[in-house]
Amino acid sequence: MNYTSVYFIGIGGIGMSAIARYFLQRGLVVGGYDKTPTPLTRELEQEGASVHYEERVDLIPEACRDARSTLVVYTPAVPADHAELQYFHDGGFDIQKRAQVLGTLTRTHRGLCVAGTHGKTTTSSMAAHLLHQSHVDCNAFLGGITKNYGTNYLLAPASDYVVIEADEFDRSFHHLSPFATVITATDPDHLDIYGTEEAYLESFRHYTELVQPGGYLIVHTGLKMQPHPQPGTTTYTYSRSEGDFHAEHLRIGGGEIIFDLVSPLGNIADVRLGVPVAINIENGIAAMALAQIAGATPDEIRNAMATFRGVDRRFDFHVRTAGKAYLSDYAHHPEELRQSILSIREVYPTQRITGIFQPHLYTRTRDFYREFADALSLLDEVVLTEIYPAREQPIPGVSSQLIYDHLRPGIERHIIRKDDVLDYVRHATFDVLMTLGAGDLDNYAPQIAEEVKKKYEE
């Protein structure tokens, strides 16, 4: 790309900001718009980006106004009538989706991509950590802030590998050309985009065709989707207990999870999870498969797995004492919720577990309220807040009440306003508290943690 400046519409998004950092570190002028300031946008400003928060063409930096030297990157969440997007369209600028830029990187580097309805942020972050701690190293564009590095982006100019989270929203992952990819799950989601489960599964099937000849496809066992890779692609399967890659000699207890990796590329004994929750067994198996394909050694992989500290909002423990905990998790799809709750239940089998869930999107709640209720019924107590709308307008008749009404009989349940969460926590009784969802409930996490600490000290 022969540009001297890049302008981002939606620069504060977790995926967009990673690409902005890539161009900043390469010495390009970076500007951008987002709706509201966040810690992430403030960090971008400190790193040299020019960011504003009003939809005004006159605020676009002068350096980003030349169509010959400026690339414009936008997120699909931006409406088509956005004033700045219209300005760039009218001016004949090169305008690309975030996924198109990532697609270019998979053609100039060896792309190690992680796709799937859930687990992709943790798995891709694990893979990036494994490679970054090895002699292979990697560049990485991640969907979360890694606790090891405090960023969603890693730069390694000497490495030929790039780790990318392959997002199925808006079929974004169809722009990628992976050298190797993991597919973690294909539970239906984004039906506002795809319409039907069949169309969703077909989108993943098409994605498997995009793996480069001579590359690798690593799929979770039991997926409904039938892969259709190109000739010359090596296909592997994985899961916790079966497949080409799986765990054996599993040891869970004392706050630790240790297992042996069984792998067609060489077994690795005594793998210790740095974030010991059960779902990370499978996430770790998939990440280690990518690391082995890229050439990391068994010792490098074993050491890095033990030092992986996790990702913000993914099984993010804010308080952890003997038999008691408070954690937040980004789970916002029914199967993610199920796996999240089961993972915590495995670590805390006898404790009372309460979950506060903020549903994400009206359409997702409308399409999956029964499945949400079924997953949440694995808790001892369920607390629901109002739906986080994100990009959507309200839908008549769609509210958290739909989930509430379909919880299993006998489950203790409440619906409260998000603004009343802290007061609820002060007066509730629990051993383990989980806050769940992809909305803005996590903004309360530091205050919730303080209230939980006081409760555990009583």
Residue 131: which of 115, 148, 117 has the closest Cα?
148
| Residues 387-410 as b or e (16 or more Cβ within 10 Å = b) | bbeeebeeeeebbbebbbeebeee
Is residue 341 one of the residues assigned to a domain?
Answer: yes
Q: Which of 64, 97, 130 is the last residue of a domain?
A: 97
Question: Residue 103 falls within a domain, yes or no?
Answer: no
Task: Examine the domain organization and report whether 121 and 90 are in the same domain.
Answer: no
Residue 288 lies in a domain: yes
> Same domain, yes or no, for 130 and 251?
yes
Total domain count, the chain: 3
pLDDT tens digits, one per residue of 277-287: 888 999 999 99
Decide if pLDDT at 458 tops 70.
no
> CA 213, CA 206: separation in Å to the nearest integer?
15
Q: And the tokens for 26? A: 């390469």
- Structural domain harbouring 120: 109-307
- Residue where a domain stops, chosen among 307, 342, 365: 307
Given a cut of 80, is residue 195 above it in pLDDT? no
- Residues 129 and 273 grouped into a single domain: yes
User: For residue 157, what pLDDT is reported?
Assistant: 85
Percent residues over pLDDT 70 in the chain: 99
The reply to whether 148 and 38 lie within a common domain is no
Residue range 289-311: average pLDDT?
97
Which of the pair, 7 or 167, is modelled with greater confidence?
7
Give the separation between CA 94 and CA 74, rounded to whole angstroms. Answer: 11
pLDDT digits (tens, 9 = 90+) for 208-217: 999 999 999 9
Distance CA 415, CA 184 (A): 32
From CA 202, how far away is CA 146, in angstroms rounded? 31
Q: Which amino acid is at 305?
A: M
> What tokens were used for 216?
């690798």
Asked if residue 160 belongs to a domain, the reply is yes
Note the pLDDT tens digit of each residue in 9-68. Answer: 999 988 899 899 999 988 999 999 999 898 889 999 999 999 999 999 999 999 999 999
Same domain, 324 and 416: yes
Please state the pTM of the whole predicted model. Answer: 0.78
Tell me: pLDDT of 167 over 90: no
> Do both 331 and 230 map to the same domain?
no
Q: Which one, of 31, 15, 27, lies nearest residue 72 by Cα?
A: 31
Among 80-94, 300-314, 333-347, 401-415, the least confident range: 333-347
The residue out of 307, 331, 364 marking a domain boundary is 307
